[in-house]
Amino acid sequence: MPPQPLVDLSTIDMSQVLADREAIAQINPQRYEFAQLDGIIAFNPETGEVVGYRDVRDDEFWVRGHIPGRPVFPGALMIEAAAQLVSYSVMNRTQGEGFLGFGGVEAAKFRGAVVPGQRIIMMGKPLETRRRRHVGATQAFVDGKMVFEGTIIGMWV
């Protein structure tokens, strides 16, 4: 049985976008096909809790080859989206040199397939903050069902 959601989605106005792709790009350095977040719909600067989304489209670079005839959103890109969500939260709340880069992932579990046409709701919550390292719990949901969970480690690059 999956764990409880990090954030109670019933308290979130899913129609209100706090930051779109352009606003996210003001914080995160990823661009073009590697910008994995489409919007931020909730952010608490005091606790660092953040909720964002990723719309999976059928015209993305990976669709043709992963898996032909039955495209499935790659787990590596889901981890990248979770890392970008953690980065957005940390870089909004702290001052560091450079940007928060990917330092690792622990306890990653994929609980369902994600296909083009679906919206992934991503949520993150800080677990540990140090001068050079930040750790955050992340989860992803599609249609109310958890499809991913993992702990993201970020480091200043």
Secondary structure, 3-state, 55-124: ECCCCCCCCCCCCCCCCCCCHHHHHHHHHHHHHHHHHHHCCCCCCEEEEEEEEEEECCCCCCCCEEEEEE
2-29 residue pLDDT tens:
789 999 999 999 999 999 999 999 999 9
Q: Considering the entire predicted model, what is its pTM?
A: 0.95
66 is catalytic: yes
Model confidence at 96: pLDDT above 80: no
**136 DSSP 8-state letter:** E
Can you list the domains of the chain with their CATH numbers? 9-156 (3.10.129.10)
55 closest CA partner among 5, 14, 87: 14
Q: Give tens-digit pLDDT for 40-54.
A: 999 999 999 999 999
Catalytic residue from among 2, 9, 25, 66: 66
